[in-house]
Structures are given as structure tokens and as C-alpha cells.
Amino acid sequence: MTLTRKQLLKAMAGAGAAVIVTPQAHASGSRVIERDVCVIGGGASGSYAAVRLRDLGRSVVLVERKGRLGGHTETFHDPVTGGTVDVGVAGYHDIPLVRHHFGRFDVPLQFSRTDPSTIRFADHRTGLPVDNYRMPPVSRLSEYANVLEQYPYLEDGPDLPDPVPAELVAPFTDLMAKHGFADLAPFLYLVSQGRSDLFDLPALYEMKYLNGPAVHAMLTGTTVTTSRRNNSELYEKITTFLGDDVLLNATLTGVSRDRAGVRVLLRTPHGPATIRARRLVVTVPPPLAGLDMDSTERALFSRFSPGGYYTSVLRLPGVPQVPIQNVSADASRQHMPSMPGMYLLAATGIPEIFIAYYGSSRPQPETRVRADILGALGRLQSTGVLPTTQPRFEMFASHAPFLLSVSGRDIADGFYRRLSALQGRRNTFYTGAAFHTNDSTLLWRFTESLLPRI
Ligand SMILES: Cc1cc2nc3c(=O)[nH]c(=O)nc-3n(C[C@H](O)[C@H](O)[C@H](O)COP(=O)(O)OP(=O)(O)OC[C@H]3O[C@@H](n4cnc5c(N)ncnc54)[C@H](O)[C@@H]3O)c2cc1C
């Protein structure tokens, strides 16, 4: 079918100014979107990449499978009090890039302070309080920071020296024993998000996550968060800013790449779409389903093992707003909690509302996570640590796959060198937590460093 010029203009107007509808696309029922860059995944990394590429004069389209941008950033709105609390990404480092990114979208920031002295400790296996445990002073972290200083490149991205220093490849528990940090274990667990096998993983992962800027922020109390306790506001404003250049609720059905560029096939709520772009930026945890991987990509991505991480908002009527951390009563094991399980029941400041943080070394079924949380709450009630209450889940979020890791042997064999070498290959660039670390600030910095190449 050949369209008249009038029909073509009408079709373009209907599809929105930013979408180019070609006659062929119209004929096959699939709209065609032509851009310089197609970004896959609208979490911290993908949203940032799309905004900044646009700043730099590139035309972009951002593809997100959910109905909103933000990824691990999620905010609970309490229907009873109207209060809000961030249930996912909470804090950022106070660096100019962060101030500028929030500032341009008119999302004010403030320092976020938590007082560890308010935390109660209980063993969730028994429900009993652990009154003999004392959190080590945060100042002990400065000794850990001295060790970090030997590895400044960990903040920058996946690139590592060759050979990779043995201390980074060995389990983190060895590093803790060597430098006398064993007593920090429950504290590190509290601030290190979900992976219950953190101490058995190569030290690289914890040292990239609990990085120099993160430790500095903890020591100086300069972590920042949004003043309105709503980190999702940033992503709502980015959605508006990008307008027609964001495709939400989009299901990717195939990606093919050749010398000329990239072709991405999608199902969207407005029908099928084909994106033609010169470059692809992948920000989702690999492997991206539908990507036409070659043997190099397949061999690398298949090495990753994912962990599980789950957050739930619980309504606990009659329970005072006191956080309860899960620690073992066993001092000979540095009070490490038994996992998988809930490692923190966090107070939110909103009456009756708590966040349960649940960690696991591998993804778990939602039914198991919910049952474990309810089991722990029941035990804490049976011992009187919590008053009797009828818990209700207000929200449940799976963050799996979380913290994709490879073995120490793979790291020593140059896994991250080969991963880095994928940048630019087959018109494809990568950013996101699997390529760096689970830290929005550092991911934005890393993404920024990639932009000139894209
Ligand atoms: C509970 C929790 C709390 C955290 N707290 C903090 C914190 O306080 N500070 C901090 O800096 N970091 C925190 N993090 C770490 C967080 O992982 C990173 O900061 C950052 O959000 C990771 O961004 P990302 O872009 O790599 O991934 P994500 O945020 O996971 O974004 C990936 C996006 O890709 C989408 N997607 C996946 N597959 C597809 C597909 N096939 N097609 C299209 N889209 C797809 C997903 O829906 C998602 O929106 C936290 C993480 C969790 C889970």
C-alpha cells in the first residue's frame, strides 16, 4: 500500500511529533521509531543515560517494561496518613553530579541521618532479644577506608588491573579477618543490602558497594535524600521531560544488530513498534532476553549468578516505631544472622508502617519470602519483642535478580576485562549495576564517563 503525502502527515500527527512513521511500517501495522540511540531499561542508569544523551544533542528512545521509570527506586504512599517513604533506593552521595541531576528537575535534597543507637537487636530464628550485642562505632569504618584507598579504581567502573589484586578476588571474610574488621560484620550486613552470602563472595563486590564515597558519607553524615521523602519524584519528572521518547509497558521481542545499526522489536500498549537506532545502550541485568548475542556475549553473561533481595511494606498496628535488626545470639559467629531471611524491620516514622528487608544468596519465590517474614514476626511477638499485632502486607517488591556476581577464579581470569571490552562492540554499550555496582551515584558517574563514546 502506498500512502499519499496527506495520509502520511496525518499518521505522523496521530503518532506524536517525536515518532517517525514510515509507509512500510504503516503497512505492516508496526510503527517505526528512528533515533540515534535506543536505551533499554528505565532504572537509575537508563533514565540518566537518556536524559544526558538528549542534553548532548542525540535523539533517544528509552524502553521500559514496567509502567513507570525508576527501577529499584520505589516509594510507598500511605493512604491513611498521606505520608511517603522510599522502600527501594533511599540515599545518594553528596557530589555535584547528584545535586545537579536532582536540581534540574526541581527535586530538593536534604541530608539523611539515621541514629543507629535506636536499633534493637533480636535473633529472628528464636524471636529472642540479643541484649549482649553492641554495634561497633561508625568511626571504625575509617580503618576500612584506609584499605579501600589502595583500590581507587573500584569507584570508577568494571576495569581492574591485570593481574587483579589477590585481596579483591579472595572472599570478603578473608579481608575482614586479615585487617581485623570481623566485629564490623553485622554492621556491614545492615548497610550492604540483601545478599546473604556477601562475606563469601569475592571481596571486590563489597568493596565496590561499600566504596570510598559511601564510607565518607557514613563517616560525615552527608548521605543525601529527597526532602519530600519521595525519590520516585525524580523519575516522574524525567518521564515528563522525555515525553514521547519513553515507551512504558513495552515488551521487547527481539534485538538484531549489524554494521548499519540496531533494530529493536517491541510490543507496546499502542501496538507493535520497531526501533531503528545507530546505537544500543543496555542497562538491564544481563542477559537481555531477545538480544542477538554472539558467542562472546553469551559466554560472558552466562557466568553471572544472581542474588535475591525483597522489600515489603508492613502495617503493624500498635507497634512502636523502633527498628529491629536480625542478629544471631552467637558471638562466636560475630552475631551474623541466619539467612535467607528478614535482616531488618525498619521503622519509617509513619505510624504503623514498617519496611521488611529480606536478603538471600539466590532468588526465592514470593510465597516463601512472605511466609518467612510472617514467621519471624510471629516469633518476635511470641517473645514479647514485638507487641501482639495482626501484620498486613501493604506492598511487596522483588528486586531479584540482585547483585550479579562471578567467582573469584573468573575475576582473576580477566572476566571484567573481557566484560569491559564489550563496550562499543556491535554498536552496543552497557551500563547498570551488573557492569559496576549497586550505587546510583556511582552508576550515574560511570554512565557519564561512557557518554562521549556513545
Ligand atoms: C531495596 C533496594 C535499596 C537500594 N538502596 C539504594 C540506595 O539507598 N542508594 C543507592 O545508591 N543504591 C541503592 N540500591 C541499589 C540500586 O540497585 C542502584 O542504586 C540502582 O538503582 C541500579 O540501577 P540500574 O539502572 O542498574 O537498575 P534498575 O534500577 O534495576 O533498573 C533496570 C530497569 O530495567 C527494566 N527492565 C528490566 N528488564 C527489561 C527489559 N527486558 N526491557 C525493558 N526494561 C527492562 C526494569 O524494569 C528497571 O526499571 C538499592 C537497591 C535496592 C533493591
Looking at domain 5-69+232-304+407-453, what is its CATH homologous superfamily?
FAD/NAD(P)-binding domain (3.50.50.60)
pLDDT at 26 > cutoff 60: no
User: Ligand 1: does its nearest atom lie under 6 Å from the Cβ of 102?
Assistant: no
Taking the C-alpha atoms of residue 359 and residue 357, their distance in angstroms, rounded to an integer, is 7
User: Going by CA atoms, what residue is nearest to atom 20 of ligand 1?
Assistant: 440
pLDDT at 192 > cutoff 90: no
Strands (E), 114-260: 120-123, 128-129, 224-226, 246-247, 251-258
| pLDDT at residue number 12 | 36
Q: Please tell me the distance between residue 311's alpha carbon and the centre of ligand 1 in angstroms.
A: 13
Q: Please tell me the distance between residue 399's alpha carbon and the centre of ligand 1 in angstroms.
A: 8
User: Ligand 1: does its nearest atom lie under 6 Å from the Cβ of 65?
Assistant: yes
- Give the position, in ligand 1's atom list, of the atom nearest the Cα of 87: 1
User: Ligand 1: does its nearest atom lie under 6 Å from the Cβ of 42?
Assistant: yes
User: Going by CA atoms, what residue is nearest to atom 6 of ligand 1?
Assistant: 89
- Give the position, in ligand 1's atom list, of the atom nearest the Cα of 45: 25
pLDDT at 319 > cutoff 70: yes
User: Ligand 1: does its nearest atom lie under 6 Å from the Cβ of 431?
Assistant: no
Taking the C-alpha atoms of residue 366 and residue 376, their distance in angstroms, rounded to an integer, is 16
User: Ligand 1: does its nearest atom lie under 6 Å from the Cβ of 90?
Assistant: yes
Q: Which of 10-14, 82-86, 309-313, 407-411 has the lowest mean pLDDT?
A: 10-14
**Helices 141-148 and 172-179: crossing angle, nearest 10°?**
110
Q: Report percent pLDDT > 70 for the chain.
A: 94
The predicted model gives 271-298 an average pLDDT of 98
| pLDDT at residue number 28 | 60
| pLDDT at residue number 1 | 34
Q: Please tell me the distance between residue 86's alpha carbon and the centre of ligand 1 in angstroms.
A: 13
User: Ligand 1: does its nearest atom lie under 6 Å from the Cβ of 91?
Assistant: yes
Q: What is the DSSP letter of 331?
A: G
| pLDDT at residue number 189 | 81
Instruction: Report which of 292, 282, 359, 301 is spatially closest to residue 325, judged by C-alpha positions.
Output: 359
Q: Which of 42-51, 335-344, 385-394 has the lowest mean pLDDT?
A: 335-344
